[in-house]
Structure 1
Amino acid sequence: MPLLDWRDARHFDASRNLPCVLCGKPTPMRSHDREPVHKVCAEDWCDHNPTSNRFHN
């Protein structure tokens, strides 16, 4: 599984941290659907759910 490419500024919310939808810890990161999620958490989730495109761009 390739690493997710979240270099686009839309994946970062400098105004606030929200609980990650996967681990519950605060994060400024946002998925392409604007879900708060750490990139590492999203990559781990994708590894365990290879048929889903939940966090892919």
Structure 2
Amino acid sequence: MAFLDWRDARHFDASRDLPCVLCGKPTPMRSHDREPVHKVCAEDWCDQHPSSNRFHG
């Protein structure tokens, strides 16, 4: 299982929740590319797509 380190404040948008690009539920979390995505959803996606670096930054 991949565990992403998103402790940096840039991964959190306190101003609004947006639909997660993977599950569609609201989240204040943002990927390194500013995509709205839950950390758990991104970790699951990374596990299913090990050759991708979509949510690693």
* TM-score of the aligned structures, taking structure 2 as reference length: 0.97
Provide runs of 4+ in structure 1 moved above 3 Å: none
RMSD of aligned alpha carbons: 0.7
CA distance in 2 between counterparts of 1:2 and 1:19 reads 22
Residue ranges of structure 2 left out of the alignment (5+ in a row): none
Displacement after TM superposition at 1:2 (Å): 3.4
Equivalent residue number for residue 21 of structure 2:
21
Q: How many residues align?
A: 57
Structure 1: runs of 5 or more not aligned: none
Please name the residue that 1:10 is paired with: 10
Task: Calculate the TM-score normalised by the size of structure 1.
Answer: 0.97
What is the percentage of aligned positions where both structures have the same residue? 88
The one-letter amino acid of 1:23's match is C
Distance, in Å, in 1 between the alignment partners of 2:2 and 2:37 is 17
Preserved contact between residue 2 and residue 46 of structure 2 (Cα < 8 Å)? no
Mapped contact 2:20–2:27 kept (Cα < 8 A): yes
* Cα separation, 2, equivalents of 1:2 and 1:32: 16
- Tell me how far 1:55 sits from its aligned partner: 0.1
Partner of 1:41: 41
